[in-house]
Structure 1
Amino acid sequence: MNQKIADRINASIAVKQQLLTDEKIISTVATCVDIIVTAFKNGNKVLFCGNGGSAADAQHLAAEFSGRFYIDRDALPAEALHCNTSYLTAVANDYSFDLIYARLIKGLGKKGDVLVGLSTSGNSANIVNAFETAKEKEMITIGFTGFTGGAMKEISDYLLNVPSTDTPRIQESHILLGHIICELVEERLFGQTTTAS
């Protein structure tokens, strides 16, 4: 049992070590910070979507913007698209689960808004459909996926494809990268943090 626990910790560390040496992903994270800072400065919003654990991560990251990260500051316009359960269940029932996010993007999305989609496979139909609708609305799309990128690889303006095919390890890295983006966006908009090192 103890060895299995240690093995899982080591597996998580190994994925993060790969991220550390992946110049393309690090550069893309920096670009995503620039994109989101610009969106907020221009009065646009950042929307998040995911399924299951990735929905939880989407909600978590949206809350880092709309609440706070390190700095006591004004709220930023960010939301996870699955939080309205009445909407979600109605559209899934009346139309299709594959359309739950696309329909909301069609109603809420504006040119210059940012849509962040989290899918470990990169193939979640509801997120792929949302990205396609976001393109029609001239939104910017950021995909958080696993190694291959799946269908989201071709339709993401910016892709953070974690170098793993193991769902828990991918999700652990998604929240790491998401936290880094949230911290740096906050720092750029509101000044240096004294809490983080």
Structure 2
Amino acid sequence: MTISPTETAGTTGAAPAGTTSDSVRVVRDHVAASVPVIASLVDHGDHIAAWADDIATRLVAGRRLLAAGNGGSAAEAQHLTSELTGRFDGDRPAYSAISLHAETSAVTAIGNDYGYDEVFARQVRAHARAGDVVVLLSTSGKSPNLLRAAEAARAVGAFAIAMTGSQPNPLAAAVDDAICIDGPSANVQEAQLVLVHALCRAMEPALRRGARR
């Protein structure tokens, strides 16, 4: 049986006509709040396109992309790497992209031996080379493990970029370049997924051209 939005668990009748349950109101408010945050990415269009061109050039030249985040931002980072090792829109060769948080044995070993602040930085020092790109995602821009990763990336000569929430924040200041999105944390994270998709879509033509060289 399908339960209408105005019904509640444990009841058999609908709510009185013209009323809205608290949960429906919360959903509507959340979606309404996400719209302007996502729409603000239009203002970053040139910036996203510049990232796409730069990252695609690096990947075609044989460089790799490393990505990391915590919690929901980890999922966004892994979404990005999966689009590069798999495909986003149409067939093309795979490109090297690694989600550092997905290396569970490395994360737990490093966290156990060196502390959680080092779980990404040590992997950056292990995997990143000059010319690679390290992408760090955070809604707060304050996570110590991402700040350490930014330091490690710059130390090895990798290009460190970040997607964060409102600026100023420490991570945006620690990387070579950042796109900062204003808004509540959850809405920023939703916008970051759209940013990831926009970035991938903009990269695809260059990645396919590179594959034909």
Q: TM-score, with normalisation over the residues of structure 2?
A: 0.84
Aligned to 1:186: 204
Q: Based on CA coordinates, which of the two structures has the bigger radius of gyration?
A: 2
Distance 2:86 2:60 in 1: 17
The answer to whether structure 1 residue 161 and structure 2 residue 183 are counterparts is: no
Moved over 4 A (4+): none
Aligned to 1:16: 38
Instruction: For residue 72 of structure 1, report the CA deviation from its aligned partner.
Output: 1.4
Matches within 5 A, 1:133-148: 133-148=152-167
Instruction: For residue 149 of structure 1, report the CA deviation from its aligned partner.
Output: 4.4
Instruction: For residue 14 of structure 1, report the CA deviation from its aligned partner.
Output: 1.5
Structure 1 SS opposite 2:119: helix
Distance 2:102 2:37 in 1: 30
Aligned to 2:65: 46
**1:15 maps to amino acid:** V
Distance 2:84 2:39 in 1: 27
Distance 2:168 2:196 in 1: 17
Gaps of 5+ in 1: 192-197
Instruction: For residue 122 of structure 1, report the CA deviation from its aligned partner.
Output: 0.6
Specify whether residues 179 and 149 from structure 1 end up closer, same or farther in structure 2 by C-alpha distance, changes over 3 A only.
farther
Equivalenced residues, count: 187
**1:89 maps to amino acid:** T
Percent sequence identity over aligned pairs: 36
Instruction: For residue 163 of structure 1, report the CA deviation from its aligned partner.
Output: 1.4
**1:182 maps to amino acid:** C
Instruction: For residue 18 of structure 1, report the CA deviation from its aligned partner.
Output: 2.6
| Alignment root-mean-square deviation, CA | 1.2
Matches within 5 A, 1:1-197: 1-20=23-42, 22=43, 25-164=44-183, 166-190=184-208
The answer on whether the counterparts of 1:19 and 1:26 sit within 8 Å (CA) in structure 2 is yes
Which deviations, in whole Å up to 9, do the C-alpha atoms of 1:154-195 show, x marking residues without a partner? 12222110111x11101001110011111111122216xxxx
Instruction: For residue 38 of structure 1, report the CA deviation from its aligned partner.
Output: 1.3
Aligned to 1:194: none
Distance 1:152 1:32 in 2: 17
Moved more, 114-123 or 35-44: 35-44
Gaps of 5+ in 2: 1-22
Structure 1 SS opposite 2:102: coil
Distance 2:83 2:160 in 1: 19
Structure 1 SS opposite 2:101: coil
Distance 2:72 2:113 in 1: 25
Instruction: For residue 5 of structure 1, report the CA deviation from its aligned partner.
Output: 1.4
Instruction: For residue 95 of structure 1, report the CA deviation from its aligned partner.
Output: 0.6
The answer on whether the counterparts of 1:28 and 1:159 sit within 8 Å (CA) in structure 2 is no
